[in-house]
A and B are shown apart, each in its own frame.
Chain A
Amino acid sequence: MFEKVLIANRGEIALRVIRACKELGIRTLAVYSEADIDSLHVQLADESICIGAAPSLESYLKIDRIMSAAEIGDVDAIHPGYGFLAENPHFAEVCESCNIKFIGPSSRAMQAMGDKNAARSYARKAGVQVTPGSDGIVETEDEAMKIARKIGYPVMIKAAAGGGGRGMRSAHNEPSLKSAFHSARHEAQKTFGNDQIYLEKLIPNPRHIEFQIVADSHGRVIHLGERDCSIQRRNQKVIEECPSPLLTPGLRKKMGNAAVKLAKSVGYENVGTIEFLVDQDRRFYFMEMNTRIQVEHTITEEVYGCDLVKEQIRIAAGQPLSPHVARAVPRLHAIECRINAEDPANNFQATPGRIDFYYAPGGHGVRIDSHAYTGYTVPPYYDSLIAKIITVGATRINAIDRMRRALGEYYITGIKTTVPFHAAMMRNGDFRDGNYDTGLLDRLISAGKLELASPPIRLHE
């Protein structure tokens, strides 16, 4: 087992990794930017090294400084968290060449699935159905038009180097295809430094259902069921649940097997997630694979009774899949709400700043993964996620109502947060019925149909 791990991330996931390390008796080294000097994870780590100025490009993305810190700290392994360098094959490679274990898949497997277009061909090769689309990169607008005519409108133009809901443009007819094609390429070049794009049929009102893969270094690959992440605002997940109210046991088995098959075919190791789109006829299509731990790994942990981050570390240390993980079966229902420093009454505008008072809910079946605390200043340089609240219930409705109860106690002042928005969602009829797709939230928001809950009674501050 490792003796010391460097956490190359920040915020709630850095805290999450530190907790797992502490439980495994592993010493922790946190690297942080100047904006994160007061961050909770820095204070809880055994050691910490400042690696740069606030902007991510000058700190959390600086591979040389992170490796320098790893060398000084004499660490055995690096956990990349999610985002930042977590899916950067070059970083994984650098770790490999420095003989420091990268807690995740090999750089080769990461590369294979990181190119979203290449991943589609791997899926096809593994016999997994992909969204109808181009056979590869689309070079010209004529080619795009031909393909679009063949698969039918509407179409999605996606960046091969993209992912996570970024670098996508839709086109509903031929006249709009031309401009969408060029603007997608331009944006891809700007955002990812790579203008390669491919085409996919735009599936109307899909459900986003992803499967959790766990694979050890001894060739064993399993899945731990699915998460339904269809509640999204502008392609960003805000609420996730496990299991999906949509899946039948038969569909779960089919999709799970497809996910395992694909992961095996690229020699995947450690944890990863295979994302599918499910259309209104319950047909599923491979969309992309995320070669890292995900934000919403928490609900799988609650339902399948395991610690996925500890399992990541065990796998990276060469241990075989833990028996309790290999045998895990789903029990109960879990929901996660992502609490962001955003103002839901003001178009979800980001609201960084000082948290004057912070009280998180508790009680049976309530889990909080957060680095926030009273007096903490949310910096403006990074994503706006300040907390994840997870509720577990015997049934889906129990979990939803428990979330409602818990959100009513969640008291954060000084900044605006999305707590009232989530409270409104827990009351929303379509959500409670399990009757939603990835378009629901944007529709509700633009129709002004979300009544934000009134603030809770004032607690003593």
Chain B
Amino acid sequence: MDPKDLKEIKAIIDLMKKHDLSVFEIEKEGFRLKLEKGPSSQATAAAPPAAAAPKAVPATPAAPKAIESVPLKEIVSPMVGTFYRSASPDSPPFVDVGKTVAEDTVVCIIEAMKVMNEIKAETGGIIAEVVAENAKPVQFGQVLFRVR
């Protein structure tokens, strides 16, 4: 498969996750692709019709079936504090899914006791997942990002 296609597919997977979509199907120019979210770990596979009325398939927090199975590296928090994705409320996030990072790339800020600490990736690769939630507290060792 063309690497450019792979990149597009990864972007689609992220969009699916972001918007809580379970099935995506596309057909164009002799190319057909269907992506479907795998069954969740909770027993919601057969959701009661009443509860699932507004949605076609119950949305779950499970990650979409990944095309590749390379184990992801984790960027974990080296401290206790509040996680921020950007330097200030009006700045863009330091990194997003798909961004390439090197060891000394600043990936986020963790604020502790009014001090803004820039956190470096400490690893190289491409951001696969933003795990921590913006403006939420994180503890030591908590996973912030996953990197491919």
Q: B-contacting residues of A (Cβ < 8 Å)?
A: 34, 49-53, 59, 64-65, 67-69, 71-72, 98
Contacts and interface: CB of A to CB of B under 8 A. Distances in A.
Interface string B104-148: 000000001100000000000000000000000101111000000
A65 B77 CA distance: 12
B141 A68 contact: no
Given A49-B137, A72-B80, 17 more contacts: A34-B140, A49-B140, A50-B139, A50-B141, A51-B80, A53-B140, A65-B79, A65-B80, A65-B140, A68-B80, A68-B81, A68-B112, A69-B80, A69-B139, A71-B112, A71-B113, A72-B82
Contacts of A72: 80-82, 137
> Of residues A51, A69, A72, which shows the largest number of chain B Cβ atoms within 10 Å of its Cβ?
A72
A72 B113 CA distance: 9
Contact of B80 (A34, A49, A98): A49
A446 to B, nearest CB: 44
B139 A51 contact: yes
16 contacts: A49-B80, A49-B137, A49-B139, A49-B140, A50-B80, A50-B139, A50-B140, A51-B139, A59-B140, A64-B79, A64-B112, A64-B113, A67-B113, A68-B81, A69-B139, A72-B137
B113 A50 contact: no
Given A72-B81, A72-B82, A52 B140 contact: yes
B34 to A, nearest CB: 41
A251 to B, nearest CB: 49
A65 B142 CA distance: 14
Contacts of B113: 64, 67-68, 71, 98
Interface of B: 79-82, 112-113, 137, 139-142
B143 to A, nearest CB: 12
B142 A68 contact: no
B137 to A, nearest CB: 4
Contacts of A50: 80, 139-142
A50 B80 CA distance: 8
A68 B114 CA distance: 9
Nearest to B78: A52
Nearest to A94: B113
Contacts of A59: 140
B144 to A, nearest CB: 14
A168 to B, nearest CB: 36
Contacts of B112: 64-65, 68, 71
A67 B79 CA distance: 11
Ordered nearest first, which 8 A-B pairs have the shortest CB separation?
A: A68-B80, A68-B112, A72-B137, A50-B139, A49-B139, A50-B140, A65-B80, A52-B140
A72 B137 CA distance: 7
A51 B140 contact: yes
A43 to B, nearest CB: 16
Nearest to B79: A65
A34 B81 contact: no
